[in-house]
Amino acid sequence: MPDTPADAAPFTFEAGLEQLEAIVKEMESGDLPLERALELFERGTKLSDACRKQLEDAETRIEILTRRAGEMQPQPFRPEK
């Protein structure tokens, strides 16, 4: 896992989730010095915020695309199973 800051460059949502998963896995090992655990926690928080923003942006785009008769009519996204 690269040690670049979460906000250093744009990343895909999927890449952000992969990085978060790696951070969680490392933290769950329970064998970390305090300073490393704090670094991972801070980085994970930034990644989580960035991913959440991407989800909110996607939701806004979906709402815009589902406009009907000039009124916003948000519709829930239900993926095919």
For position 2, what pLDDT does the model report?
45
For position 6, what pLDDT does the model report?
45
**Which residues of the chain register pLDDT less than 50?**
1-7
For position 77, what pLDDT does the model report?
67
Q: Which residue has the tokens 């009124």?
A: 71
AA identity, residue 39: E
Q: Which residue has the tokens 């991913």?
A: 51
Rounded Cα distance between 46 and 67, Å, is 32
For position 7, what pLDDT does the model report?
45
Q: Rounded mean pLDDT of the chain?
A: 81
For position 1, what pLDDT does the model report?
44
For position 49, what pLDDT does the model report?
95
